[in-house]
Structure 1
Amino acid sequence: MPSTDTSRQSQPRYSGIPTFMRVPCAASPQEVDIAIAGVPFDGGVSARPGARYGPREMRNLSSMTRAIHPVTRFDPFAACRVGDIGDVPFSSVYELERAHEDIRRFLAPYYAAGKKVLAAGGDHSISFPILQAIAPRRPLGMVHIDAHTDTWDAFSGSKFSHGSPFRRAVEAGLIDPRRCIQIGIRGAQNSDEGWRYSLEQGMRVVFMDEFDALGAAAVAAEARRVIGSGPAYLTVDVDGLDPAYAPGTGTPEIGGLTTREALALLRGLDGLDLVGADVVEVAPPYDPSGNTALVGATLMYECLCLLARGAAGQRPDAQCAAAAG
Structure 2
Amino acid sequence: MQYPLSPDVKPEFCTTGSFMRLPSSRENAKIAIVGMPFDTAASFRVGARFAPQAIRQASMTLFPYHPIHKVYPFDDCNAIDIGDVPVIPHNIHRSYELIECAVHDLMAKGITPIGLGGDHSVTLANLRAAAKVYGPVALIHFDSHTDTWDTYYEEKYWHGSPFIRAYEEGLLQSDKVFQIGIRGTLNHPGDIDSSTELGYHVITTPELKERGIADVLQQVRQTIGDTPCFLSFDIDFVDPSCAPGTGTLEVGGLNSFETLQMIRLLTDFNFVGFDLVEVLPPYDPAQITSLLAATIVHDFASLVALKVNQEK
Contact persistence 1:124–1:163 (CA under 8 A): yes
| 1:229 CA displacement | 1.6
| 1:10 CA displacement | 4.3
Contact persistence 2:244–2:284 (CA under 8 A): yes
Q: Does 1:66 align with 2:63?
A: yes
Quick one: which of 100, 107, 111 aligns to 1:111?
107
| 1:87 CA displacement | 0.2
Q: Does 1:80 align with 2:77?
A: yes
Amino acid at match of 1:95: N
1:134-283 to structure 2, matched below 5 A, reads 134=130, 135-192=132-189, 194-283=191-280
Q: Does 1:128 align with 2:127?
A: no
Listed as ranges, the gaps of 5+ residues in structure 2 are 1-5
Distance in 1 (CA, whole Å) between partners of 2:224 and 2:297 is 21
Report SS of the residue matched to 2:60.
Answer: helix
Question: C-alpha offsets along residues 13-52 of structure 1, whole Å, 9 cap, x if unaligned?
Answer: 11131211221123x8x66221100111101101110111
Amino acid at match of 2:50: Y
Paired residue for 2:12?
13
Question: C-alpha offsets along residues 58-78 of structure 1, whole Å, 9 cap, x if unaligned?
Answer: 000011121111212121123
Counting matched residue pairs gives 305
Quick one: which of 295, 299, 322 aligns to 2:296?
299
Report SS of the residue matched to 1:313.
Answer: helix
Distance in 2 (CA, whole Å) between partners of 1:45 and 1:193 is 23
Contact persistence 1:242–1:258 (CA under 8 A): yes
Distance in 2 (CA, whole Å) between partners of 1:10 and 1:218 is 44
| 1:192 CA displacement | 4.8
Sequence identity, in percent? 39
Contact persistence 2:230–2:271 (CA under 8 A): yes
Question: C-alpha offsets along residues 110-129 of structure 1, whole Å, 9 cap, x if unaligned?
Answer: 11222110011100000000
Q: Aligned Cα RMSD in Å?
A: 1.9
Amino acid at match of 1:272: F
Distance in 2 (CA, whole Å) between partners of 1:166 and 1:309 is 28
Listed as ranges, the gaps of 5+ residues in structure 1 are 1-6, 316-325
Paired residue for 2:308?
311
TM-score between both structures, scaled by the size of structure 1? 0.89
Distance in 2 (CA, whole Å) between partners of 1:231 and 1:246 is 29
Question: C-alpha offsets along residues 98-137 of structure 1, whole Å, 9 cap, x if unaligned?
Answer: 2211211222211122211001110000000011122244
Report SS of the residue matched to 1:311.
Answer: helix
Distance in 2 (CA, whole Å) between partners of 1:31 and 1:312 is 13
Report SS of the residue matched to 2:252.
Answer: coil
Question: C-alpha offsets along residues 293-315 of structure 1, whole Å, 9 cap, x if unaligned?
Answer: 00111111111111222233369
| 1:193 CA displacement | 5.5
Amino acid at match of 1:196: D
Contact persistence 2:121–2:157 (CA under 8 A): yes
Distance in 2 (CA, whole Å) between partners of 1:176 and 1:141 is 6
TM-score between both structures, scaled by the size of structure 2? 0.93
Quick one: which of 93, 103, 125 aligns to 1:97?
93
Amino acid at match of 2:103: L
